[in-house]
Structure 1
């Protein structure tokens, strides 16, 4: 029986973390297009960001060589991004076992989702068995800060909205009550931050993560493919 795991890798040397830092209000997810040499291009999907800000962040990022907008649907943008660096140039000073990283690409696993964070990557993957997952987790525990968020068997369903933490749910409720989601907005991030007694940037990240969880469980399964 296979496993489904969600985990976070805190390593700010991973590709596109600089872009995620520059546009913290946006949600960045990527697919790696392997079999393109040592600089595989990324297919990057971005939600909740301003197009001009996103594209300026790509242009300014040290690890982005070129980017192309390949599709748009509402506030969702999809880009092909070519790296300016090889994996060795990008990660060589931070990860000792680059050969082990390359070997993970051929393991019996499918990385279904990669979300880029300012601190690293948050991934969801399907693993053929416990040994395969242990190979992944052991590698990242040895080479970065690794945090397991969820681990289930692949036949265990996850109820809609189950991924929300209590803090995320609280932030959503307060934001809704204060009118943050109304048009025009009746409250700012600073207003919500004052009530929660945290920083505005923390509120932004908490709301973004909560919205991502809800989208994954409700909208994403029926979202039409973006134009190519």
Structure 2
């Protein structure tokens, strides 16, 4: 039976580490990943939450980045297309392919990359951790569960964690203008990192929109 693993990776030669360290308020969310004919990895990702000028200086200085350009700007977010320098990059994605794992989501901050990946079995998760240990990549497993085991959805399709995050955020002024609660403070109330709190809010809000505003489309 397959397993879903949620874990954090951190190493100097992971993609965008220098850029994310340049502005500790920036968060990037992977939209897609592809390889070109020259086998050079390309990331398409949203960035938000910090100063884009500082982040782009970090992109210019990042040894894992060959080129980048902005595809779109929308509501305080920027969509980037980043061509990576594979010769300076820790090759994590090929390990997923070798293990038969399927990446589901990736969010990056100065604290590292939070990944959610479907693995074929427990042994492949162990192999992933062993690869990280052998290659000086910090691997912190946060959650391991079988599909459908953890997300007991309510009438809106929200998991208990997503519903709780949205309720706490609303009750404490996270959605107010100006905002009364930071992501880090929200994370502290939820017992998770600010990055994890952000992911729960985004996924919960997206699910609410699909189940309500888009339910008739």
Alignment TM-score > 0.5, same fold: yes
Distance between the aligned counterparts of 2:128 and 2:182, measured in 1? 40
CA contact (8 A) 1:26 1:49 kept: yes
Match of 2:156 in 1: none
- Mapped pair 1:216 → 2:203: yes
CA contact (8 A) 1:11 1:121 kept: no
Distance between the aligned counterparts of 1:48 and 1:8, measured in 2? 20
Structure 1 runs of 4+ off > 4 angstroms?
172-177, 185-189, 220-223
Of 127, 132, 136, the match for 1:135: 127
CA contact (8 A) 1:161 1:214 kept: no
Match of 1:48 in 2: 49
With a CA cutoff of 8 Å and minimum separation of 6, indicate the structure with the bigger relative contact order: 1
CA contact (8 A) 1:109 1:125 kept: yes
Match of 1:89 in 2: 88
Distance between the aligned counterparts of 2:163 and 2:11, measured in 1? 24
TM-score normalised according to structure 1 size: 0.68
CA separation of 1:155 and 1:36: change in aligned 2, threshold 3 A: farther
Match of 2:142 in 1: 149
TM-score normalised according to structure 2 size: 0.70
Task: State the shift of 1:79 in Å.
Answer: 0.9
CA separation of 1:41 and 1:188: change in aligned 2, threshold 3 A: closer
CA contact (8 A) 1:26 1:208 kept: no
CA contact (8 A) 2:33 2:41 kept: yes
> Structure 1: any 5+ residue segments left out of the alignment?
92-97, 197-204, 224-228
Aligned length: 197
SS at match of 1:42: strand
Match of 1:19 in 2: 19
> Structure 2: any 5+ residue segments left out of the alignment?
153-158, 211-217
Question: What's the RMSD between the two structures over aligned residues?
Answer: 3.7
Residue by residue over 1:167-219, the C-alpha shift from the partner in whole angstroms, topping out at 9 and shown as x without a partner, is xx7xx969975x67543356889xx7xxx9xxxxxxxx943431222212332
